[in-house]
Amino acid sequence: QLVVAWYKQVPILPTGNCSSRHFLLKWLQCYQSSHAGYGHLVFQRFNNNIIVIKTSNVDEYGFERPQDFDYGTYEEFMSEYLKVLAKRAKKWADITGEGKSLERSITVKRYVRKGIPGEYRGMVWLAVSGGEDLKNANPDLYQRLLNGPHNQQVTEIIKTDLPRTFPDNIFFNNTVNHQHQLYNILLAFAHQNETVGYCQGLNYIAGLLLLVTKSEETAFWLLKVLIEKILPDYYTPTMDGLLTDIDVLAELVKLKIPETTLRIWDCLFYEGNKIIFRVALTLIKRNRSNLVACDDFALLADCFKGITKDSIVLQCHNFMQSIFKVPGSLPGNTIAKLRTKVSQERAKNKKTNLKR
């Protein structure tokens, strides 16, 4: 209520833009109510602006913030970013209104790159990735997979991993419901795609999808399209490439900078896995001098672990702009050729090692 009262008095958007200001007010009410469970942010009016004066030690998706979290930088950033989110929410509301179907287009791609507001993410991810088409073509698949039959060994492995999934997340740590839903998602996927089955890392990916979408079945379809369509579509007996990409995505989830992570995932579901390379190249280029200065492997490993703490990573808007500028042109066919080359070289090296 305090937030709404302050925003009624503060002309954040251009004077006379009544519809925008009205939408901003409605959006803030939704934002505050959706995060009321753990006091994510506290606001205060200052010099005709709303500023964040307090940030909870738990973020908007229920993750505990690390001890070295930079609250000052984050609060300063969020004071401005909330206005951006409200404006974007209005634009997304305009193109996803009642009776409108979301189609892939230049406009939608531009909107995706600028960020999808949290309340629209599940719906937009499902639409732009092709997951909605898969779901419509197989409306009963998820329930049939849950009904069984099930491989006992697979179910036991999944059950073993459940308590290890986000132990510092208040939703997974304090409620059985999220763990049960995650179990269902992983169980259904493992029996639907027996080639991949269940492997470590999938629990983190599916867990984040569940936190974002708040829908068990939507999370299942997004996991399916992510693993089978967006990640490399080559399946070797060891699935090295696929498992590596699963690990990369799982690590992205664990970075505990959820808004930046989800902005990356916004683009991942629309543009494919080349986004992962853009992120990696941007981080490496920004930290090139520090990486080159490392004179042994241990130092290099520590340096790589620390590059995600770059201040620009926290400020998701600036970071997402940089990943489309810093690496330059990065065509999908270039990545595909390099993947093929590396895959062939690895296979050749394995044969050489076996002969020794």
pLDDT tens digits, 81-103: 778 888 888 899 888 877 778 88
Q: What pLDDT band is residue 19 in, cutting at 50, 70 and 90?
A: very low
* Pairing label, strands 49-55, 41-46: antiparallel
Residues 6+ apart with CB under 8 A from 306: none
Q: Which residue has the higher pLDDT, 6 or 259?
A: 259
45 - beta bridge partners? Answer: 50
Name the token pair of 126: 């499902």
Which pLDDT value is given to residue 68?
74
Mean pLDDT of the chain: 75
Which pLDDT value is given to residue 215?
93
Please state the domain extents for the chain: 2-125
**What percent of the chain clears pLDDT 90, i.e. is strictly above it?**
22
Question: 39: how many CB neighbours lie within 10 A of its CB?
Answer: 12
Name the token pair of 206: 């599916």
pLDDT average, residue stretch 156-178:
85
pLDDT average, residue stretch 308-316:
70
43 - beta bridge partners? Answer: 52
pLDDT average, residue stretch 309-331:
76
Half-sphere exposure of 204 (CA within 13 A, CB side): 22
pLDDT average, residue stretch 158-171:
87
User: Hey, is 327 helix, strand or coil?
Assistant: coil
Element (H, E) at 53: strand 49-55
Which pLDDT value is given to residue 252?
57
Q: What pLDDT band is residue 350 in, cutting at 50, 70 and 90?
A: low
Q: Which residue has the higher pLDDT, 298 or 207?
A: 207
pLDDT > 60? residue 39 = no
Among the residue ranges 80-84, 113-117, 141-145, 339-343, the one predicted with the least confidence is 339-343
Question: What are the counts of helices (DSSP H) followed by strands (DSSP E) for the chain?
Answer: 20, 2
CA-to-CA separations, 279 to 23, 192, 250, 258, 332, in angstroms, rounded? 33, 31, 14, 15, 15
pLDDT average, residue stretch 248-258:
59
pLDDT > 70? residue 47 = no
Task: With beta carbons less than 8 A apart as the criterion, state whether 324 and 123 touch.
Answer: no
Rounded CA gap, 139 and 134, in Å?
8
Q: What pLDDT band is residue 241 in, cutting at 50, 70 and 90?
A: low
